[in-house]
Chain A
Amino acid sequence: MKKLFGKPESLTTVNHKYCPGCGHGIVHRLIAEVIDELGVREKTIGIAPVGCAVFAYDYWNFDVTEASHGRPPAVATGIKRVLPDRVVFTYQGDGDLAAIGMAETIHAANRGENITVIFINNAIYGMTTGQMAPTSLLGMKTTTTPFGREAKIAGYPIKVSELLVTLEGTTYLARGAVDSAKHVLEAKKAIKKAFEIQLSGKGYSLVEILSQCPPNWKMSVPESLEYVRKEMMTQFPLGVIKDKTGMTV
């Protein structure tokens, strides 16, 4: 018998602490599979965020360091410039990447750093129990927008990937989701392409993943999947947003 599906080598056997149905665990596995398939486990360095994924260094079976809140792109810049032969990626939530870390995000992208950014957009601050994020949808009830996000008071949801399009330094920007097996497989292709771009020295790549957070959305797991499909994907359409390489996946 042959093992068709199972734990990739780039994941440890540690049971992670995410809530039932959370998208983080799926994306961790996709990254691990891609690292295995590219054969770069021994030269990969991940940068974990502050957010629910703060313990990611326990879950990946390659080198992972931690950055203070929002600073993974700055840490990644330093590591990649000093050790250009390493595969360097950041893993960040919407609070980390688009709120406190927006300046780092934009400037690393604008400098065209040869790094990969995996951006988990769950439209909420998960770890701190559900405050509004820059990506929270209009009308979305959070602990800091108890009556629903209103543009007049809290502005509009930021489309991070589209925002980065105009920066000359960005090479590849794509958006996926993990609400279904089909989208999981598509997201993996985008993640793989992003790492391949880095390996071929073509510059900055970012893959945004729409990810369910059932408890902070106050939803059951099936309801959270519907919310991703009906609401998140309307605001944040899936697909390749920018590709300067002309490489096909």
Chain B
Amino acid sequence: MPKIIIAQSKCKGCELCILACSKKNIRLSQKMNKKGFHYVEIIDPDNCNACGLCFQVCPEVAIEIWK
């Protein structure tokens, strides 16, 4: 199972990764980070195929993917 780490403090909640994920596996959290942005979270880690599409579009380089 891949490990996907989202740096909550870097995320600006732009949703580009949500739009890019073909598995619709990312959502905005109800919680906010210190900058006042709703950050994103993975819905189901088991459903992630480590394709990296979310990483490719993230302007903040807030996503790290391990496998």
The chain A residues found within 8 Å of chain B, CB to CB, are 1-7, 11, 15-16, 18-26, 29, 178, 180-181, 184-185, 221-222, 225
Q: How far is the CA of A184 from the CA of B3 in the complex (A)?
A: 23
Asked if residues B59 and A21 are in contact (CB atoms below 8 Å), the reply is: yes
- The 9 A-B residue pairs with the shortest CB-CB distance in the complex, in nearest-first order: A25-B59, A21-B14, A20-B14, A20-B12, A181-B56, A5-B55, A181-B53, A6-B64, A5-B65
Q: Among the listed A3, A21, A23, which residue makes an inter-chain contact with B64, where contact means beta carbons less than 8 Å apart?
A: A3
| Interface of B (DSSP majority class) | loop
Interchain CB contact under 8 A, A225 and B19: yes
Q: Are A1 and B67 in contact (CB under 8 A)?
A: yes
- When distances are taken between beta carbons in the complex, the residues of chain A under 8 Å from B59 are 18, 20-26, 29
User: How long is the Cα–Cα vector from A221 to B28 in the complex, in angstroms?
Assistant: 14
> CA of A81 to CA of B15 in the docked complex: distance in angstroms?
43
Q: Per-residue CB proximity of B24-67 to A under 8 Å, as 1/0?
A: 00000000000001000000000000101101111111011111
13 A-B residue contacts at CB 8 Å?
Answer: A4-B2, A4-B50, A4-B67, A5-B52, A15-B10, A20-B12, A20-B14, A25-B59, A181-B20, A181-B52, A184-B57, A221-B14, A221-B19
Contact residues in A for B9 (Cβ distance below 8 Å) = 15
Contacts A4-B67, A7-B61, A24-B59 supplied; 20 other A-B pairs, CB < 8 Å: A2-B66, A2-B67, A3-B64, A3-B65, A3-B66, A4-B50, A5-B64, A5-B65, A11-B61, A15-B60, A18-B59, A20-B14, A20-B37, A21-B14, A21-B59, A25-B59, A180-B20, A184-B57, A225-B16, A225-B19
Query: B61 contacts A1, CB within 8 Å?
Result: no
Closest residue of chain A to B60 (Cβ to Cβ) is: A25
Interface residues of B, CB < 8 Å — how many? 27
* Bound form: Cα–Cα A20–B14 in Å: 5
With A and B bound together, what is the CA distance between A26 and B58 in angstroms? 7
Query: Are B66 and A1 in contact, with the CB atoms below 8 A?
Result: yes
Please state if A7 and B20 are interface contacts (CB–CB under 8 Å).
no
Residue of A nearest to B11 (CB): A20
Nearest-CB residue, chain B, relative to A16: B60
Residue of A nearest to B63 (CB): A5
Instruction: Indicate the member of B58, B61, B65, B66 with the most A CB atoms within 10 Å.
Output: B61
User: A15-B10, A221-B16, A222-B19 known; A1 and B56 CB under 8 Å?
Assistant: no
Select A1's contact among B3, B14, B16, B20, beta carbons within 8 Å.
B3
Alpha-carbon separation in the docked complex, A23 to B57 (Å)? 9
Contacts of B66 in A (CB 8 A): 1-4
CA gap between A184 and B52 in the complex, in Å: 12
Q: Which of A5, A18, A185, A221 has the most CB of B within 10 A?
A: A5
User: B58 CB to closest chain A CB, in angstroms?
Assistant: 8
Rounded to whole angstroms, the CA-CA distance of A105 and B63 in the bound complex is 35
Tell me the nearest residue of chain A to B20, going by C-beta.
A181
Cβ–Cβ < 8 Å partners of B3 in chain A = 1
